[in-house]
Amino acid sequence: MASSHAVLEGRLGYQLESALLVRALTHRSYAYENGGLPTNERLEFLGDSVLGVIVTDTLYRTYPELAEGQLAKLRAAVVNARALADVARGLDLGAFVRLGRGEEGTGGRNKASILADTLEAVIGAVYLDRGLEAADEMVHRLFDPVIERSAKLGAGLDWKTSLQELSAAEGLGVPEYVINEAGPDHEKTFTAAARVGGETYGTGTGRSKKEAEQQAAETAWREIRAAAVRRGGDGPAPGRSVA
Protein backbone atom coordinates (compact mmCIF):
# COMPACT_ATOMS: atom_id res chain seq x y z
CA MET A 1 0.00 0.00 0.00
CA ALA A 2 2.80 2.40 0.88
CA SER A 3 4.45 2.01 -2.51
CA SER A 4 1.18 2.54 -4.38
CA HIS A 5 0.47 5.63 -2.30
CA ALA A 6 3.92 6.95 -3.22
CA VAL A 7 2.96 6.65 -6.88
CA LEU A 8 -0.25 8.61 -6.31
CA GLU A 9 1.53 11.21 -4.19
CA GLY A 10 4.04 11.65 -7.00
CA ARG A 11 1.21 12.42 -9.39
CA LEU A 12 -0.41 14.80 -6.92
CA GLY A 13 2.89 16.47 -6.11
CA TYR A 14 2.41 16.10 -2.36
CA GLN A 15 3.35 13.60 0.33
CA LEU A 16 0.41 13.43 2.71
CA GLU A 17 0.01 12.08 6.22
CA SER A 18 -0.57 8.38 5.61
CA ALA A 19 -3.76 7.88 7.62
CA LEU A 20 -5.32 10.96 6.05
CA LEU A 21 -4.60 9.75 2.53
CA VAL A 22 -5.98 6.29 3.34
CA ARG A 23 -9.18 7.86 4.61
CA ALA A 24 -9.47 10.02 1.49
CA LEU A 25 -9.33 6.86 -0.62
CA THR A 26 -11.83 4.86 1.48
CA HIS A 27 -15.23 4.54 -0.16
CA ARG A 28 -18.15 3.80 2.14
CA SER A 29 -18.65 0.37 0.51
CA TYR A 30 -15.21 -0.71 1.73
CA ALA A 31 -15.74 0.84 5.15
CA TYR A 32 -19.05 -0.97 5.71
CA GLU A 33 -17.63 -4.31 4.62
CA ASN A 34 -14.71 -3.92 7.01
CA GLY A 35 -16.39 -3.15 10.29
CA GLY A 36 -17.41 0.46 9.87
CA LEU A 37 -14.09 2.16 9.15
CA PRO A 38 -14.01 5.94 8.67
CA THR A 39 -15.06 6.85 5.13
CA ASN A 40 -13.93 9.67 2.86
CA GLU A 41 -17.32 11.42 2.95
CA ARG A 42 -16.37 14.17 5.40
CA LEU A 43 -13.20 14.89 3.43
CA GLU A 44 -15.29 14.94 0.26
CA PHE A 45 -17.59 17.53 1.85
CA LEU A 46 -14.59 19.68 2.75
CA GLY A 47 -12.85 19.22 -0.60
CA ASP A 48 -15.99 20.19 -2.50
CA SER A 49 -16.00 23.55 -0.72
CA VAL A 50 -12.25 24.09 -1.11
CA LEU A 51 -12.44 23.32 -4.83
CA GLY A 52 -15.45 25.59 -5.23
CA VAL A 53 -13.73 28.54 -3.54
CA ILE A 54 -10.53 28.16 -5.57
CA VAL A 55 -12.32 27.78 -8.91
CA THR A 56 -14.72 30.63 -8.14
CA ASP A 57 -11.85 32.93 -7.16
CA THR A 58 -9.95 31.98 -10.32
CA LEU A 59 -12.91 32.64 -12.59
CA TYR A 60 -13.70 35.95 -10.89
CA ARG A 61 -10.16 37.23 -11.36
CA THR A 62 -9.51 35.75 -14.81
CA TYR A 63 -12.75 36.75 -16.54
CA PRO A 64 -13.70 40.23 -15.28
CA GLU A 65 -15.92 40.75 -18.33
CA LEU A 66 -18.29 37.90 -17.50
CA ALA A 67 -21.57 38.52 -15.70
CA GLU A 68 -22.59 36.48 -12.66
CA GLY A 69 -24.76 34.13 -14.69
CA GLN A 70 -21.97 33.32 -17.12
CA LEU A 71 -19.50 32.81 -14.27
CA ALA A 72 -21.95 30.39 -12.64
CA LYS A 73 -22.29 28.39 -15.86
CA LEU A 74 -18.54 28.30 -16.31
CA ARG A 75 -18.00 27.15 -12.73
CA ALA A 76 -20.61 24.41 -13.18
CA ALA A 77 -18.79 23.19 -16.28
CA VAL A 78 -15.52 22.95 -14.34
CA VAL A 79 -16.68 21.30 -11.11
CA ASN A 80 -19.43 18.95 -12.29
CA ALA A 81 -19.07 15.24 -11.63
CA ARG A 82 -18.02 14.35 -15.15
CA ALA A 83 -15.30 17.02 -15.28
CA LEU A 84 -13.98 15.85 -11.90
CA ALA A 85 -14.07 12.24 -13.03
CA ASP A 86 -12.06 13.11 -16.14
CA VAL A 87 -9.39 14.77 -14.00
CA ALA A 88 -9.41 11.76 -11.68
CA ARG A 89 -8.93 9.40 -14.63
CA GLY A 90 -5.91 11.45 -15.67
CA LEU A 91 -4.41 10.58 -12.27
CA ASP A 92 -5.60 6.96 -12.57
CA LEU A 93 -7.20 7.64 -9.19
CA GLY A 94 -9.58 4.70 -9.55
CA ALA A 95 -6.69 2.28 -9.13
CA PHE A 96 -6.08 3.59 -5.60
CA VAL A 97 -9.65 3.75 -4.24
CA ARG A 98 -10.55 1.27 -1.51
CA LEU A 99 -13.82 -0.29 -2.66
CA GLY A 100 -16.12 -2.95 -1.31
CA ARG A 101 -16.59 -6.18 -3.26
CA GLY A 102 -19.97 -5.10 -4.59
CA GLU A 103 -18.72 -1.85 -6.05
CA GLU A 104 -15.60 -3.56 -7.31
CA GLY A 105 -17.70 -6.08 -9.17
CA THR A 106 -19.85 -3.44 -10.86
CA GLY A 107 -17.00 -1.34 -12.23
CA GLY A 108 -16.83 1.13 -9.38
CA ARG A 109 -13.25 2.12 -10.15
CA ASN A 110 -14.46 3.85 -13.30
CA LYS A 111 -17.75 5.28 -12.02
CA ALA A 112 -17.87 9.04 -12.46
CA SER A 113 -19.56 9.60 -9.10
CA ILE A 114 -16.97 7.59 -7.16
CA LEU A 115 -14.04 9.17 -8.99
CA ALA A 116 -15.41 12.68 -8.52
CA ASP A 117 -16.11 12.14 -4.82
CA THR A 118 -12.68 10.62 -4.22
CA LEU A 119 -10.92 13.50 -5.97
CA GLU A 120 -12.82 15.96 -3.78
CA ALA A 121 -11.77 13.94 -0.72
CA VAL A 122 -8.13 14.08 -1.82
CA ILE A 123 -8.40 17.86 -2.25
CA GLY A 124 -9.85 18.03 1.25
CA ALA A 125 -6.96 15.93 2.57
CA VAL A 126 -4.36 18.18 0.94
CA TYR A 127 -6.09 21.21 2.45
CA LEU A 128 -6.09 19.68 5.95
CA ASP A 129 -2.54 18.38 5.75
CA ARG A 130 -0.76 21.11 3.80
CA GLY A 131 -3.02 24.15 3.95
CA LEU A 132 -4.88 26.32 1.46
CA GLU A 133 -1.77 27.34 -0.48
CA ALA A 134 -0.95 23.71 -1.30
CA ALA A 135 -4.57 22.94 -2.17
CA ASP A 136 -4.70 26.02 -4.38
CA GLU A 137 -1.54 24.99 -6.19
CA MET A 138 -2.81 21.47 -6.81
CA VAL A 139 -6.25 22.61 -7.97
CA HIS A 140 -4.67 25.00 -10.44
CA ARG A 141 -2.36 22.31 -11.77
CA LEU A 142 -5.23 19.86 -12.24
CA PHE A 143 -8.07 22.18 -13.24
CA ASP A 144 -6.59 25.10 -15.17
CA PRO A 145 -6.76 23.08 -18.42
CA VAL A 146 -10.43 22.31 -17.67
CA ILE A 147 -11.14 25.99 -17.04
CA GLU A 148 -9.43 26.98 -20.28
CA ARG A 149 -11.35 24.43 -22.35
CA SER A 150 -14.66 25.36 -20.76
CA ALA A 151 -14.09 29.09 -21.24
CA LYS A 152 -13.53 28.56 -24.97
CA LEU A 153 -17.03 27.17 -25.27
CA GLY A 154 -18.44 30.56 -24.32
CA ALA A 155 -22.23 30.57 -24.55
CA GLY A 156 -22.13 26.91 -25.49
CA LEU A 157 -21.91 26.16 -21.78
CA ASP A 158 -25.70 26.22 -21.86
CA TRP A 159 -25.87 22.89 -23.64
CA LYS A 160 -29.66 22.56 -23.50
CA THR A 161 -30.07 25.77 -25.48
CA SER A 162 -27.29 24.73 -27.85
CA LEU A 163 -28.96 21.38 -28.47
CA GLN A 164 -32.36 22.97 -29.05
CA GLU A 165 -30.94 25.32 -31.67
CA LEU A 166 -28.91 22.61 -33.39
CA SER A 167 -31.78 20.13 -33.51
CA ALA A 168 -34.03 22.85 -34.96
CA ALA A 169 -31.42 23.70 -37.60
CA GLU A 170 -31.17 20.02 -38.53
CA GLY A 171 -34.95 19.63 -38.67
CA LEU A 172 -34.97 16.99 -35.95
CA GLY A 173 -37.54 18.50 -33.63
CA VAL A 174 -37.54 19.69 -30.01
CA PRO A 175 -35.34 17.85 -27.47
CA GLU A 176 -36.92 16.17 -24.47
CA TYR A 177 -35.30 14.72 -21.39
CA VAL A 178 -36.16 11.48 -19.64
CA ILE A 179 -35.00 11.51 -16.01
CA ASN A 180 -34.34 8.58 -13.68
CA GLU A 181 -33.13 8.86 -10.12
CA ALA A 182 -31.47 6.44 -7.73
CA GLY A 183 -30.19 6.46 -4.19
CA PRO A 184 -31.51 7.75 -0.85
CA ASP A 185 -33.04 11.20 -0.57
CA HIS A 186 -29.88 12.74 0.90
CA GLU A 187 -27.61 11.35 -1.83
CA LYS A 188 -29.57 10.96 -5.04
CA THR A 189 -27.98 10.42 -8.43
CA PHE A 190 -29.90 11.56 -11.50
CA THR A 191 -29.58 10.12 -14.99
CA ALA A 192 -30.93 11.99 -18.00
CA ALA A 193 -31.44 10.81 -21.57
CA ALA A 194 -31.66 13.49 -24.26
CA ARG A 195 -34.15 12.41 -26.91
CA VAL A 196 -34.75 14.18 -30.22
CA GLY A 197 -37.39 12.95 -32.64
CA GLY A 198 -37.91 9.85 -30.52
CA GLU A 199 -34.23 8.84 -30.64
CA THR A 200 -31.79 9.02 -27.74
CA TYR A 201 -28.64 10.91 -28.70
CA GLY A 202 -26.98 11.32 -25.33
CA THR A 203 -27.10 10.53 -21.62
CA GLY A 204 -25.69 12.21 -18.55
CA THR A 205 -25.49 11.78 -14.80
CA GLY A 206 -25.31 14.28 -11.98
CA ARG A 207 -26.24 15.15 -8.45
CA SER A 208 -29.12 17.27 -9.70
CA LYS A 209 -31.58 17.02 -12.58
CA LYS A 210 -30.11 20.17 -14.11
CA GLU A 211 -26.57 18.80 -14.12
CA ALA A 212 -27.68 15.48 -15.62
CA GLU A 213 -29.68 17.24 -18.34
CA GLN A 214 -26.78 19.53 -19.24
CA GLN A 215 -24.44 16.57 -19.58
CA ALA A 216 -26.96 14.66 -21.68
CA ALA A 217 -27.50 17.73 -23.86
CA GLU A 218 -23.76 18.14 -24.40
CA THR A 219 -23.36 14.50 -25.45
CA ALA A 220 -26.37 14.75 -27.78
CA TRP A 221 -25.11 18.04 -29.26
CA ARG A 222 -21.75 16.49 -30.09
CA GLU A 223 -23.38 13.41 -31.61
CA ILE A 224 -25.77 15.39 -33.81
CA ARG A 225 -23.08 17.85 -34.86
CA ALA A 226 -20.68 15.02 -35.76
CA ALA A 227 -23.39 13.48 -37.93
CA ALA A 228 -23.96 16.85 -39.62
CA VAL A 229 -20.24 17.22 -40.31
CA ARG A 230 -20.10 13.73 -41.79
CA ARG A 231 -22.90 14.76 -44.15
CA GLY A 232 -20.85 17.76 -45.22
CA GLY A 233 -22.36 20.51 -43.07
CA ASP A 234 -20.49 22.45 -40.43
CA GLY A 235 -23.30 22.86 -37.90
CA PRO A 236 -23.19 25.78 -35.48
CA ALA A 237 -20.27 26.01 -33.10
CA PRO A 238 -21.24 25.96 -29.43
CA GLY A 239 -20.07 29.49 -28.82
CA ARG A 240 -22.57 30.80 -31.36
CA SER A 241 -25.61 29.16 -29.90
CA VAL A 242 -26.70 31.54 -27.12
CA ALA A 243 -26.33 35.23 -26.46
- Is residue 203 a contact partner of residue 194, using CB atoms and an 8 Å limit? yes
pLDDT in tens, 9-59: 999 999 999 999 999 999 999 999 998 899 999 999 999 999 999 999 999
Nearest to 161 by CA among 111, 210, 91: 210
Residue 18: CB atoms within 10 Å = 12
- Region of poorest pLDDT, from 104-108, 115-119, 147-151, 184-188: 184-188
- Amino acid letter, 231: R
* Alpha carbons 150 and 214: distance in angstroms, whole number: 14
Binding-site residue ranges for Mg(2+): 44, 117, 120
Answer yes or no: same fold for 4-153 and 159-233.
Answer: no
pLDDT in tens, 225-243: 888 888 775 544 443 333 2
Domain spans in the chain, listed from the N-terminal domain onward:
4-153, 159-233
Looking at residue 120, its pLDDT comes to 98
Q: Fold for domain 4-153?
A: Ribonuclease iii, N-terminal Endonuclease Domain; Chain A (1.10.1520)
Residue 8 has pLDDT above 50, yes or no: yes
Looking at residue 127, its pLDDT comes to 97
- Is residue 126 a contact partner of residue 14, using CB atoms and an 8 Å limit? yes
Residue 123 has pLDDT above 80, yes or no: yes
* Alpha carbons 69 and 67: distance in angstroms, whole number: 6
pLDDT in tens, 167-191: 999 999 999 999 999 888 777 889 9
Span 159-233 CATH architecture:
2-Layer Sandwich (3.30)
Binding-site residue ranges: 44, 117, 120
Query: Which residue numbers are catalytic?
Result: 48, 120
